[in-house]
């Protein structure tokens, strides 16, 4: 126990120090760090205006030096004494922690891609020919990224009714349990970010729920990919866990089927991360997706994303794609968990779900191994479904 009286299983001990943006009633949003069940006001502690902007972006742009300096200072302050000003986490409101520049969503779980392939293209190969050779991804809508707790208004959209398109509230609203990576340091257009430079650009990690309207998506996505089936809302957890807190979570990626091209060959840069996710619907745990099984790592995703010279901006967010393991109770979305609604899932209250119903609350949480056998907590990303307007 530190002098903050942190229980051993807090997930928010001195080895974590995730950053977010919070406010208390009547005050402006500012940077805070979570420690145990409290939030330390980093803006007041440091008196640095970069922490009073209501967004992590300006500080994120400072890069690894700024990241290390603040972490070192917070470690000293928190280890030495009970710091001020500290707020109980229940007394603060959390905000979107960073202004999202570009948002990219990958498709890097082999189990997920195979399941989706079997469901949507039952007559073809489960994986498309490119899948083992590159981390498939696409751009999502950055303006639709919102902080955990934002209501999920059921989207309307165009979908097939038999063989006729109609417009109305989605009937196949789904969750997607994902892990997101937050870029701090930009890169120049025309240059690439090699695998080894991943921790020079990416500050940290959050949880992502990439809400999906499967009926809209199924009708629209050929040939240019998902659009309105995804763009109504993407929720992120309020705390960004620094990569620096995940040293004990680094692990080897799964064996690959094919030799990788040099810019994606991560033999020397294994950045798989042993995050254990948990998905709950109305309190029932419906899945425990293992992030360590992802075929493509976040370092490979970044190397791929910039391999054509695309620049990075401070605030870029890229997500892993749905995290699914090999087992049925490790699947990261209802499309897979219920096999497109054909095998409904039982909740603890006795009800069943094919897809999400109005009023349902979905919560994704995660933890990872920390220093000295402890755990690193990610908090949670949650949202309740409201009826279509």
Per CB under 8 A, residues contacting a copy of itself are 101-102, 107, 117, 120-121, 128, 130, 133-134, 136-144, 146, 150-151, 153, 155-158, 165-167, 189-192, 213, 216, 219-229, 231-233, 261-263, 304-305, 307-313, 316, 389
Marked catalytic residue, from 111, 112, 201, 304: 112
Count each helix (H run) and each strand (E run) in the chain, helices first. 8, 26
Helix (H) or strand (E) holding 367: strand 361-369
Residues counted in the chain: 389
What is the closest distance, in whole angstroms, from the C-beta atom of residue 177 to a copy of itself in the complex? Answer: 18
CB neighbours (10 Å) of residue 300? 26
Closer to a copy of itself by CB, 312 or 376: give it. 312
Grouping H, G, I as helix, E, B as strand and the rest as coil, residue 103 is strand
Closer to a copy of itself by CB, 12 or 232: give it. 232
Closer to a copy of itself by CB, 43 or 312: give it. 312
What is the closest distance, in whole angstroms, from the C-beta atom of residue 59 to a copy of itself in the complex? Answer: 19
Q: Rounded to whole angstroms, how far apart are CA atoms 29 and 47?
A: 14
Closer to a copy of itself by CB, 146 or 347: give it. 146
Closer to a copy of itself by CB, 227 or 339: give it. 227
What is the closest distance, in whole angstroms, from the C-beta atom of residue 310 to a copy of itself in the complex? Answer: 5
Residue 354 in tokens: 């094919």
Largest CA distance in the chain: 68
Q: Compute the CA torsion angle 139, 269, 197, 274 (nearest 10 deg).
A: 60
What is the closest distance, in whole angstroms, from the C-beta atom of residue 311 to a copy of itself in the complex? Answer: 6
Q: Rounded to whole angstroms, how far apart are CA atoms 126 and 110?
A: 10
In the numeric block, the tokens 């990610």 are attached to 378
Q: Rounded to whole angstroms, how far apart are CA atoms 90 and 146?
A: 20
Rg (CA), the chain: 21
What is the closest distance, in whole angstroms, from the C-beta atom of residue 122 to a copy of itself in the complex? Answer: 14
Reply yes or no on whether 263 is catalytic. Answer: no
Closer to a copy of itself by CB, 7 or 167: give it. 167
SS (H, E, C) 7-46: CCCCCCCCCCCCEEEEECCCCCCEEEEEECCEEEEHHHHH
Closer to a copy of itself by CB, 53 or 128: give it. 128
CB neighbours (10 Å) of residue 123? 4
What is the closest distance, in whole angstroms, from the C-beta atom of residue 328 to a copy of itself in the complex? Answer: 23
β-pair type (202-209, 177-183): antiparallel
* Ramachandran class of 153: left when φ > 0, alpha when ψ lies in -120 to 50, beta otherwise: beta
What is the closest distance, in whole angstroms, from the C-beta atom of residue 66 to a copy of itself in the complex? Answer: 21
**Active site (catalytic) residues:** 112
């Amino acid at each position: 126990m530190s002098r903050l009286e942190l229980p051993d299983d807090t997930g928010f001990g001195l080895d974590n120090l995730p950053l977010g943006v919070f406010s208390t009633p009547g005050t402006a949003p500012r940077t805070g760090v979570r420690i145990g069940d409290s939030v330390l006001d980093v803006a007041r502690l440091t008196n640095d205006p970069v922490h009073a902007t209501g967004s992590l972006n300006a500080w994120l742009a400072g890069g690894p030096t700024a990241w290390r300096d603040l972490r070192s200072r917070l470690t000293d302050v928190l280890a030495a004494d009970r710091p001020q000003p500290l707020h109980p986490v229940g007394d603060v409101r959390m905000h979107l922690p960073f202004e999202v520049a570009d948002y990219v969503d990958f498709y890097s779980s082999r189990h997920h891609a195979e399941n989706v392939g079997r469901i949507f293209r039952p007559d073809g190969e489960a994986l498309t020919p490119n899948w083992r050779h590159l981390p498939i991804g696409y751009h999502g809508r950055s303006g639709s990224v919102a902080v955990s707790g934002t209501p999920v208004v059921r989207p309307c959209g165009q979908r097939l009714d038999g063989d006729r398109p109609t417009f109305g509230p989605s009937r196949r609203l789904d969750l997607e349990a994902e892990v997101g990576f937050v870029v701090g340091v930009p890169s120049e257009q025309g240059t690439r970010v090699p695998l080894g430079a991943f921790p020079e650009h990416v500050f940290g990690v959050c949880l992502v729920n990439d809400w999906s309207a499967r009926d809209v998506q199924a009708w629209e996505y050929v040939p240019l990919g998902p659009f309105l089936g995804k763009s109504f809302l993407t929720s992120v957890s309020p705390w960004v866990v620094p990569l620096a807190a995940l040293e004990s979570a680094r692990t080897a990626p799964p064996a690959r089927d094919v030799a990788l091209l040099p810019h994606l060959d991560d033999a020397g840069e294994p950045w798989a991360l042993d995050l254990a996710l948990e998905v709950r619907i109305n309190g029932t745990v419906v899945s425990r997706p293992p992030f360590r099984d992802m075929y493509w790592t976040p370092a490979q995703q970044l190397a791929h994303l910039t391999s054509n010279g695309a620049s990075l901006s401070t605030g870029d967010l890229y997500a892993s794609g749905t995290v699914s393991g090999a087992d049925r109770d490790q699947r990261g979305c209802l499309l897979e968990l219920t096999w497109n609604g054909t095998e409904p899932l039982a909740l603890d209250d006795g009800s069943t779900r094919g897809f999400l119903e109005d009023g349902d609350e979905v919560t994704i949480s995660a933890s990872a191994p920390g220093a000295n056998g402890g755990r690193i907590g990610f908090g949670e990303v949650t949202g309740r479904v409201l009826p279509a307007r």
